[in-house]
Structure 1
């Protein structure tokens, strides 16, 4: 699956997130960004970086299943994950809200 219909910042973020590369991933967020994952909300660079650092400890592979442009500011990428986490397999919706050329909010849910 190609991610060519996603904005450049989303493509960069997904690549950095999947590579577990914190600095490039963090560069994609606004200073007041919010990330929601597994029922927890992370606000601002310090909390988001700590969340991403914990996520890098989990071993998993990803496959991009689909992408969807809702409007200019909202985009969805569905990824299939397999790895060393409870259940071992999950499809997750990465729901991005953009402000300008950066991510203002990311909600990850099944």
Structure 2
């Protein structure tokens, strides 16, 4: 599957547990909604992903990608140390040029 460069780098940074690189795929004022919380800006997103990957030891494998305009859905298989692993999840993304401006999860 061919992913846009931003999405490919975002997934790679998450799998390498590189929270600093991960956060640079987001706009300066981006938001992430996860488990009932919203994280705003690169610093909060970096802290959130660092804590989540340390806690759950997550690895993601993209299985589908669809984009229409600035909206995209990345479907991934997520494995880690959480109940129900592995799980299929959808990453709902809003893009601003080549960066992510919004991310929320379903699945």
Fold conserved (TM > 0.5)?
yes
1:82/1:88 contact within 8 Å kept: yes
> 2:102 maps to what in 1?
105
SS at match of 2:82: coil
> 1:88 maps to what in 2?
85
CA distance in 2, matches of 1:61, 1:11: 14
Which structure 2 segments of 5+ residues have no match? Answer: none
Which structure 1 segments of 5+ residues have no match? Answer: none
Count residues in correspondence: 106
Deviation, 1:51, is 0.6
> 2:42 maps to what in 1?
45
TM-score (norm 1): 0.86
SS at match of 1:17: helix
- Superposed, 1:5-84 pairs within 5 Å as 6-57=3-54, 58-69=56-67, 71-84=68-81
SS at match of 1:91: strand
Q: Supply the RMSD in Å over aligned alpha carbons.
A: 1.4
